Structure 1
Amino acid sequence: MLGVLTDQQPDSSVTLAGLLALGRYPQQFVPQLAASFIVLPTMDGSALADGTRFIDNQPLDGPIPAIVAQAVSAMQRNMRRRSVVEGAGRQDIWDYPTEAIREIVANALMHRDYHPATQGTQVRISLYPDRFEVASPGGLHGIHAGRTDVAQLIDSSINSTRNALLARLLEDVVIPGTGRPVCENRGSGLRAAVQALDRVGTGRPELDDRVRELVVTVRDQCFRPGVSALGDGDRLAGRFDHDPWAPPPKPDARQQAQLQPLYEGTPAEVIQLLQAGPLSSVDLAAALGTSKQTVLNWLRRLRDDEIVAPTRADPRTRGNKWMLVSRFHPHVPDQSAQI
């Protein structure tokens, strides 16, 4: 009665909606009905000088609830996070709120075009330094077709869906690890995403209805050119007494005098980037538009001169980052001056 099973198909007793909502691994039968996640190092999607095209590249498959959970996890792994301490509590603030990511990705998977002619196209999730985009096959459906104003869609009191049976099933299917259903099927998903973005001061989603596909774009209002927007979710963790999103200050006269011999052949931008917090060599390479090996050569020279230090005992350990030693960091007291 719910439409999960059918006796109208002699070769199968499961509907496509039932397979996508409740199946164990739908891609066994429909390989491309999944999603892809990529992280691009540049704002225009071009490769770095060393040929690097993607910082991260991950297929997202399984049933729709699992894909949504994987998408949120992949975004968090590549977003910046800063922690705000208020009293005895701590609140983590991401570049993009997880609720908005979850709603936008769920909407893309639920409302995409599942016609046989489009089943060879995946939902694409792309994270750029200054924005993230979610593209799904098929444009806006029904009464919403042609509308690219988010306010119009939010204010509309009519819920129009291309895949009514799938939307109905996803009301009762829970996203792993959250205890929350994939959707409410009340036309409230976009409204919830906008509210979450408004709370953190991020711009509202932009809709681009291209008929064959719908692209939803959310821009990072705190993005600063020249500072990498890529990280592993822990780059800006900690309490800040300054604005972590502001451009890093230049070294003062005393610091410049100490660092001057190292400026030849080593960009001052490396030191300025590290003033915002520890960064990996991959992050630095992406921010400076150069190769990882070149950055490692610079870091090796700076470490030998005790200007930077690795966060792990062995710099080759996975997850290692590089940080400025205290006397060169503008927000850490210079202990040597007090001796």
Structure 2
Amino acid sequence: MNQGSYLRLGDGDYRMTSYEVQLLLANRGQPRHDEEPVPNTSLADFDPALVAELVSRLRTRRPYAYGELDDLAVLRRVRALVPDGSGADVASLGGLLALGTFPQEHFPQLMITFVHYPTVDGADPDTGARFVDNVVAEGPIPVMVRDTLLALRKNMARRSVVRGAGRADDWEYPEAALREAVVNALVHRDLSSESRGTQVQVEMYPDRLVMRSPGGLFGPVTEERLGEEGVSSARNAALLRILEDVPLPGSSRAICENRGSGIRTMLAALRSAHLSAPEFRNRVSSFRVTFPNHTLLSTDVIDWINSLGERGLSPSQCVGLAILRDGGLLDNQTYRQATRVDSRVATQELSDLIARELVEQVGTRRWTRYRLARGLIRTRVAGETPKGRADRRADILDALADGELSRTELAAATGLTDKTVTRWLGILRKEGLVEATEEQVRSPAVRYRRTGKVAFDQS
């Protein structure tokens, strides 16, 4: 297997490394690397304050399982202490990472490195500056999370945003999203012996923030399903279980909840701050999260959407328009990833944007893509303020002046798309200006006619 295994990537194949092959094999079952005994360790390698906090919380929250146990028995039950080959209690790898005073004494690379680069490409060739800041976060996971967040906060700028009638200063990236990303990178990383020489890496650039961790997604979780309710899987189950009852230093908040809510919390925090959703990139041997450093729904974007004159747009449709504003393309999957709506809602909302003549469909079936309507692109390129979308009532009524027509015939007569005709027929029927000749109005064979009611001139 190590000599003849290949991975499909894009349009080609590449030979898998021995580490990637072994990781795929290990992922067939539940990995137990976090329960491995660490030689030459004991209870003395644990931080007494973290142990006391863990034991107290377990006895309070789960008295049936832990209420009658002494401290050593509690640590054994949560697999923080495990027997070595001679039967003596030693720290497990997960126990050491969660509760140890200095795990890096035994595993120097199980840490986080943070580097703040001066340019989007890294070092500045003009000044010779390799980085703006360089931090190594060591210690148990609670301390590494705290110190990484401190480094991020130190290097983040504040931006002014319009909120209600005033302005407010927010961090470039919401701390709730960063905390979840840092915790996920540490807790879900691969802990097999092959990856213990690789640290979690956090890199800040002027236009993005990148977090990398060894080991791809585990279990049923995929890039497309990240953040879906009920989709959760823990590579390091024992470690995660311990950290449910270990708080961040100086806080009562536990490191993680083990409820599969971390990605949803991250996305909700970014949406609340009007920031773009992160990009997730999963590989067999690594996982990467990239946070773009720009406000998706900034003041000028919101003003542009309002200038379209369209009422009733959903928040997710506004996000989709913001993405398409600069001439990009969307498909159903990328729309779902950006907005976190399900496939059915994504299809309905994209169809509605087409019907409103804000978006155009390119291609069909699996090659279907969506782009901003050409008229809106022209005004965007020319720097013009878009006018309200055309009122198509007169077009539909004029086409029906000589008799009954179906949706298909109306589309041919007016030059409008079927979705746009359907939308305006619905509006005209509600206003009592048009009626269907049959009750099954969803059928394309149904014909429509004018009612004789005079339309009110809104000009």
Same fold, TM exceeding 0.5? yes
Supply the distance in 2 between the matched residues of 1:130 and 1:73 (Cα, whole angstroms): 20
Instruction: Give the alignment of 1:103-114 within 5 angstroms.
Output: 103-114=180-191
TM-aligned CA deviation for residue 90 of structure 1: 9.3
Comparing 135-144 with 171-180, which one deviates more in the overlay? Answer: 171-180
Question: Could you say if the C-alpha distance between residues 68 and 91 of structure 1 is closer, same or farther in structure 2, counting changes exceeding 3 Å?
Answer: farther
**Residue 84 of structure 1: CA displacement?**
7.1
Match of 2:290? 217
Pick closer, same or farther for the CA change 1:49–1:161 going to 2, 3 Å.
same
Select which of 239, 247, 270 maps to 1:197.
270
Structure showing greater Rg:
2
Residue 94 (structure 1) aligns with: 171
Cα 1:180–1:157 change in 2 (3 A) is same
Shift of 1:51: 1.5
User: Please, which of 185, 193, 205 is the counterpart of residue 128 of structure 1?
Assistant: 205
Q: Deviations over 1:271-308 (max 9, x none)?
A: xxxxxxxxxxxxxxxxxxxxxxxxxxxxxxxxxxxxxx
Matches of residues 270-309 of structure 1 in structure 2 within 5 Å? Answer: none
Question: Which residue number corresponds to residue 185 of structure 1?
Answer: 258
| C-alpha separation in 2, matches of 1:157 and 1:76 | 32
Match of 1:161 in 2: 234
**Residues 173 and 47 (structure 1), Cα distance of their counterparts in 2 relative to 1, 3 Å cut:** same
The equivalent of 1:49 in structure 2 is 126
| TM-score normalised by structure 2 residue count | 0.45
Give 1:14 deviation, angstroms: 0.7
2:80 maps to 1:7: no
Over 3 Å off, 4+ runs: 8-12, 82-87, 89-92
Q: Measured at CA, do residues 86 and 219 of structure 1 come closer, stay the same or move farther in structure 2, by a change above 3 Å?
A: closer
Structure 1 residue 61, shift from structure 2 partner: 0.5
Ranked by relative contact order (alpha carbons within 8 Å, sequence separation 6 or more), the top structure is: 1
CA shift, 1:71, in A, is 1.0
SS in 2 for 1:18: helix
Partner of 1:162: helix, strand, or coil?
A: coil
Contact kept? 2:223, 2:281, Cα under 8 Å? yes
**Residue 170 of structure 1 corresponds to which residue in structure 2?**
243
- 3-state SS of paired residue (1:155): coil
- Identity %, equivalent residues: 45
Counterpart selection for 1:141 from 214, 218, 240: 218
Q: Bigger shift: 15-24 or 43-52?
A: 43-52
CA contact (8 A) 1:41 1:48 kept: no
Residue 83 and residue 12 in structure 1: after superposition, are their counterparts in 2 closer, same or farther (change >3 A)? Answer: farther
The 2-side partners of 1:135 and 1:172 are apart by 25
Does the CA contact (< 8 Å) of 1:201 and 1:221 recur in 2?
no
Deviation at 1:4, TM superposition (A): 0.7
Change (3 A) 1:176 1:51: same
Correspondence for 1:70 among 147, 151, 154: 147
Query: How has the CA–CA distance of structure 1 residues 22 and 91 changed in structure 2, closer, same or farther, with 3 Å as cutoff?
Result: farther
CA–CA separation in structure 2 for the residues paired with 1:125 and 1:177? 23
Q: TM-score, normalised by structure 1?
A: 0.61
Aligned partners of 2:276 and 2:295 also within 8 Å: no
Question: Hey, what's the Cα distance between the residues in 2 that align with 1:102 and 1:109?
Answer: 11
Please name the residue that 1:232 is paired with: none
CA separation in 2, counterparts of 1:29 and 1:177?
A: 26
Distance (Å, rounded) in 1 between the aligned partners of 2:161 and 2:127? 37
Q: Which residue of 2 aligns with 1:24?
A: 101
Residue 58 of structure 1 aligns with an amino acid whose one-letter code is V
Cα deviation per residue 1:14-34 (whole Å; 9 max; x = unaligned)?
101110001111111111100
SS of alignment partner, residue 241 of structure 2:
helix
Match of 2:156 among 72, 76, 79: 79
Inter-partner Cα distance in structure 1 for 2:161 and 2:229: 36
Matched residues in 2 for 1:9 and 1:63: separation?
A: 25
> Quick one: structure 1 residues 28 and 143, their matched pair in 2 at CA, closer, same or farther if it must change by over 3 Å?
same
Residues of 2 paired with 1:36 and 1:138: CA distance?
A: 17
Which of 264, 271, 279 is the matching residue for 1:206?
Answer: 279
Asked if 2 retains the 8 angstrom alpha-carbon contact of 1:126 and 1:134, the reply is yes
> 1:173 and 1:46 mapped to 2: Cα distance?
38
| Alpha-carbon distance in structure 1 between the residues aligned to 2:89 and 2:196 | 18
Give, in whole Å, the separation in 2 of the partners of 1:118 and 1:214: 13
CA deviation profile, 1:309-328 (whole Å, cap 9, x unmatched): xxxxxxxxxxxxxxxxxxxx
- 1:270 aligned partner: none
Task: Tell me how far 1:44 sits from its aligned partner.
Answer: 1.9
- Contact 1:159/1:187 (8 A) holds in 2: yes
Give unmatched runs, 5+ long, in structure 1: 224-241, 244-339
